[in-house]
Structure 1
Amino acid sequence: MRLVQVFVPEGDLNLVLETAEATGVDYAVSEETSRGEFEAVVSIPVPPAAVEPLLAELRDAGFDDDSYTVVTAAETVVSSRTEDLIGEFSGVRISREELQSRAEDLAPAASTYFTLLVVSTAIATAGLLLDSAATIIGAMVVAPLMGPALSASVGVVVDDDALATRGIAFQALGLLAAVATAAAIGWLLRGTVLLPPGFDVATVPQVRERITPDVLAVFLALGSGIAGVISLVRNVGSVLVGVAIAVALVPPAATVGLGIAWGHPTMIVTAGALVLVNILSINLTALIFLWVSGYRPHHAANVDRVYGRIRSRVAVLLVGIVLLSVVLGGVTFGTYQTAAVEHDVQTELEAMSDDPAFGDLAFRELSVEYELIDVYADNRPVVTVLVERPPGEEEPDGFADDVRERLEVATGVDLEVVVELVDTRRSG
């Protein structure tokens, strides 16, 4: 339930009471005795779904917007009359005014926002370098990205340009700050005793997860956007949804920063595509879901104009998501190709070890050097094979070529094969 309190200016009491009666809600009038321009305070208990119609009726009746109308959440209402009100005003979403107020509250002051974002990015960067999923998730609890991600869409839908601009600016500047923070941390840590000698950031599993995304990653962002709007309009699970939105944005942004610090173009492109498609998807679903939920500008005359703006934004966001999804699709295909080659090599080597044609030779895969960039640069995979043989046994002529041909048939790819022969004696 909500308690709507209307501070009534001199001469407007009858207008407010008539509007309340016409809306079908109960009210109580308290005489205002303080010095000022108000003659009374009218208190009206209503369900959340009745707040917006009531305020719209007051506005249409000519009630001055410059007065005070306070909407507060009532923790408990003890009355059998509430059932009739809830039945009359069905629905679970909050009013447009509450939505706008919550969106403003979710976007903190700039100093608070950027401080928390830098701290969360620093923790997430440490989690990436340490390959610690728990640390990354912990950092997301601190990240304040939910507010700007949703307030931008709320501002567009309710025709609040200041709110929309602030939300968009905070998102853009926040992601740049996250990238810069991770890049600075990575640059400071490179070559120090805090990282092992020869450390390759691209091989860390948590980092690799962000630089080999696939198209399915889009569903995380789409789901986060929908969940964010639901949590906002129904006031449920906002903390967990904030974590989900931060997970979609901060770790890949931090990965971009690490790619800059290590001078790794592939990391920058792939993780950058992931963070951009995620932020566009969150904004897209938030815009659409808010409009479908029935939120509109205060003034009916502005509905058509706002609808046109929303259509334009949705079109731009869709085009951006499609283009970036092509990149993710390319990463998905390339990742599949590299994994398929390694799998086929391993399977064929096992078959060759069991093949009587090779006698007592045992084949082991040492490495398959075939990265995402090699798929599109048309570079041949380099396969290093360890062959164990009994002491004194000689390999057949053209043995390395035979191994290469078998592996090429199995993989369907031209290979460069390095064969290392080792005399092996095993104890009984």
Structure 2
Amino acid sequence: MLHLRVVCPASITGDVVAVVRAEPGTTNLVKLTGAALSPAGDLVHVDVAREALDGLITRLLGLGLERSGSIVVLEADTAIGADVERAQREAPGEGDDAVVWAQLAAETSGRWSTSVSFHLFLVIATMIAAVGLLIDSQVLIVGAMVLGPEFTPLAGIAVAVVRRRWRDAVEPVRALGIGFALAIVVTMLGVLLLQVTGQVPEEFLNGRRPLTSFVAAPDVFSVIIALLAGVAGTLSLTGDKAGPLVGVFISVTTVPAAADIAAGLATGQISTAAGAAGQLGINGVCIVVAAVITLRVQRRLWTSVVHRPARDVRHAPGSRE
């Protein structure tokens, strides 16, 4: 179950309550008249089955809440009661399969291009990956994968494409461009320092790194891995109970490639840098394409699940049903 908190002007509180009551997947409806101070208005609380949330939010936004009030979605980790079970039973489909578009858009939106934390994590992850490449260590590559924060902007691009909100894709594209450029430059300077001090292993300079050479060698398997990573990462974002680490390892195809570009340029291995650049580009595009396809398939499947005669909400002005 999810908890919905709505702040609305008193003039539309009746419509908000009517829309909520018309949704079978709701329970524990509470109205607090005049409880909201800023902005002033009424406060409506309701628990909602996850599979019913997207339709409910769409209908509430149809009342103009985006302009005159607000909607906050909170996780309800534990919900017990006969009416809770009734709401979950009457809601269409399964919660694990539902895509809550408003929630997904919120999770994948953000000003990453100006986020210090985003850029620091990407720089640190790339530097760790570079060390892993220099000493041919898969353990350090995995460590870099854990830190890589780039999947969320990639998913943001996919969400913008699926929703056809092209302006929403500008910020994640800018963030990825700035972030990877910064990470590559900083990492290249670090590798140059190691080279000047004689710390770059001869094996790396001679191209002998059997465990990590795949990073700079894009092939059909790179495409397959990137596509599967895009699907897995998207499912981890949209799924209700998906493991939190599923999306973490998406950077297996991105951060290490950025690190190899930096290390290759710093040590004069232009062919390695070029191969890694190809790897980064191919994988970034494939991840976004896979995410777009996954989201579209999920939307179509979910539409077929919830398709049924419209409920009578004529008493709820502004409803989109």
TM-score (normalised: structure 2): 0.82
The residue number in structure 2 matching 1:175 is 180
Cα distance, 1:258 vs. partner? 1.7
The residue number in structure 1 matching 2:318 is none
Taking the aligned partners of 1:265 and 1:220, their CA distance within structure 2 comes to: 25
Q: Does 1:79 align with 2:81?
A: yes
The residue number in structure 2 matching 1:317 is none
Cα distance, 1:268 vs. partner? 2.2
Q: Secondary structure at the match of 1:44?
A: strand
Q: Deviations over 1:52-108 (max 9, x none)?
A: 111222233x34322112211111111122222222222332411111111126958
CA separation of 1:149 and 1:198: change in aligned 2, threshold 3 A: closer
Q: Does 1:65 align with 2:70?
A: no
CA separation of 1:108 and 1:83: change in aligned 2, threshold 3 A: farther
Q: Does 1:163 align with 2:158?
A: no
CA separation of 1:132 and 1:196: change in aligned 2, threshold 3 A: closer
Q: Deviations over 1:320-379 (max 9, x none)?
A: xxxxxxxxxxxxxxxxxxxxxxxxxxxxxxxxxxxxxxxxxxxxxxxxxxxxxxxxxxxx
The residue number in structure 2 matching 1:252 is 257
Cα distance, 1:175 vs. partner? 2.5
The number of residues matched between the two structures is: 293
Q: Secondary structure at the match of 1:43?
A: strand
The residue number in structure 2 matching 1:265 is 270
CA separation of 1:197 and 1:291: change in aligned 2, threshold 3 A: closer
The residue number in structure 2 matching 1:214 is 219
Q: Is the 8 A contact 1:255 1:268 kept in 2?
A: yes
Q: Secondary structure at the match of 2:66?
A: coil
Q: Does 1:132 align with 2:137?
A: yes
1:241 pairs with 240, 243, 247, which one? 247
Which residue identity does 1:221 align to in structure 2?
A
Using the TM superposition, name which of 221-230 and 165-174 deviates more: 165-174
CA separation of 1:263 and 1:141: change in aligned 2, threshold 3 A: same
Which residue identity does 1:72 align to in structure 2?
L
Q: Deviations over 1:355-406 (max 9, x none)?
A: xxxxxxxxxxxxxxxxxxxxxxxxxxxxxxxxxxxxxxxxxxxxxxxxxxxx
List runs of 5+ in structure 2 lacking aligned partners.
Answer: 301-321
CA separation of 1:266 and 1:272: change in aligned 2, threshold 3 A: same
Mapping 1:97-176, distance limit 5 Å: 97-104=102-109, 107=112, 110-176=115-181
Root mean square deviation, CA, Å: 2.4
User: Higher Cα Rg: structure 1 or 2?
Assistant: 1
CA separation of 1:161 and 1:181: change in aligned 2, threshold 3 A: same
Higher relative contact order (CA 8 A, sep 6+): 2
Q: Secondary structure at the match of 1:239?
A: coil
CA separation of 1:84 and 1:197: change in aligned 2, threshold 3 A: closer
Taking the aligned partners of 1:34 and 1:273, their CA distance within structure 2 comes to: 54
Q: Deviations over 1:107-138 (max 9, x none)?
A: 58521111111111111111111111111211
TM-score (normalised: structure 1): 0.63
Using the TM superposition, name which of 153-162 and 67-76 deviates more: 153-162
Cα distance, 1:17 vs. partner? 2.0
The residue number in structure 1 matching 2:307 is none
The residue number in structure 1 matching 2:280 is 275
Q: Secondary structure at the match of 2:79?
A: coil
Cα distance, 1:264 vs. partner? 2.1
Q: What percent identity do the matched residue pairs reach?
A: 25
CA separation of 1:257 and 1:123: change in aligned 2, threshold 3 A: same
CA separation of 1:202 and 1:39: change in aligned 2, threshold 3 A: same
